[in-house]
Amino acid sequence: MSKREFYVYVIRDPRPGERNVPRYVGKGIGNRSTTWLRNPEKKTNAQMRKFLIECKRLGLVPSIKRVAHFKLEESSSMREIELIEQYGRVDLGTGTLFNETRGGDGIVGCIATAVSARRRMKQYNKDPLFREAYLKGLAKLYADKAYMQWFKRRCSAVNRKRWENPVYYQKHVKRLIKLGKDPILNEMRSRLGKERWSDPESGRVLIAELIKRNKSKKMRESSRQVMIKVNANPEFKLWASQHMTRVNADPSMQAKQLAGYNKIKKALGKRNSKRMHLRNLDPDFQAKCQAGRAASRAAKLAAQVNTD
């Protein structure tokens, strides 16, 4: 078979009692069909991931058979759609396949650059049906605890490595300052934030995440270290100060901040009160607070002298 010939493949279930039923239908070129057997825990299809991990645990290898070959990709897409319809999908209750789409929607042999991927996603996101399907897919992934644990570990390792790079750090801080000055982006963030907090279910999820972060000493320390590093940049510090001055000068913004603070305070409530009580018994913490208040008063007096 030549390198550019397309094929359709079927993955079958080798587990005892499953009678070698088909579990996935796909299309590809080269060794596309065998990539399913590499790093099964990283697959984004939740049902296929569980199936492959289970087979690996049992020491079984799923049967992968190429059932048709074509010169044109369109022909392979048509055959893929036919087979998925023939075998039926588990998520629709029509058959045994773990496919999450009707088929024919992949691009064989495509190597996307970051720019082309962003451009394509912008086009896709204009379609409300695509956005709905995409969000449903994300919800499925977020519901899978094993995948989310692996994903968080990976993101944490990648981000830690990035922040250790001084070039990336300076670049990221400049980007944050630039984004913070964009009125359109700020308006969009404000609108999305209001939508998320106004939805009771979304609000509960956000509060649960805040409580989780609040409980974890590791998360608190990590956030503190990042903020220390970011605030060490004089340019960012100046921008943050100017931004907070503008916010505090606006009565409507003050009212919004107070409402948000009260909402979070009500959710965190007793835990924060208990921790603050324990902190207030700590003489070192009290000394730091007094030093901070003294520095703040001195800065205010200096500012008044300069204005006079």
Give the pLDDT score at 271: 56
Tell me what the mean pLDDT of segment 2-12 comes to: 82
**109 pLDDT band (50/70/90 cuts)?**
very low
Residue 14 token pair: 């080798």
The rounded distance, in Å, linking the Cα atoms of 203 and 20 is 45
According to DSSP, the residues that pair with 98 across neighbouring strands are: none
- Is 274 a residue whose pLDDT tops 70? no
The domain limits of the chain are: 6-108, 111-161, 165-275
What residue type is assigned to position 294 of the chain?
A
Q: Tell me: the pLDDT tens digits for 171-192?
A: 877 777 777 777 777 787 778 7
The rounded distance, in Å, linking the Cα atoms of 283 and 262 is 28
Kindly list the distances between the CA atom of residue 164 and the CA atoms of 151, 217, 225, 258, in Å, as whole numbers in the listed order. 20, 21, 12, 36
Residue 242 backbone class (left: φ over 0; alpha: ψ -120 to 50; beta: rest): alpha
**8 pLDDT band (50/70/90 cuts)?**
very high
For 16, phi then psi, to 5°, come to: -60, 135
**308 pLDDT band (50/70/90 cuts)?**
low
**Looking at residue 94, what DSSP letter applies?**
S
**97 pLDDT band (50/70/90 cuts)?**
very high
- Is 10 a residue whose pLDDT tops 90? yes
Coil vs helix vs strand at 61: coil
**Among 258, 254, 264, 148, which Cα is nearest to 206's?**
264
Using CB atoms within 10 Å of the CB of residue 251, give its burial: 0 to 12 exposed, 13 to 18 middle, 19+ buried: exposed
**1 pLDDT band (50/70/90 cuts)?**
very low
**100 pLDDT band (50/70/90 cuts)?**
confident
The rounded distance, in Å, linking the Cα atoms of 170 and 174 is 6
**Looking at residue 253, what DSSP letter applies?**
H
Give the pLDDT score at 96: 92
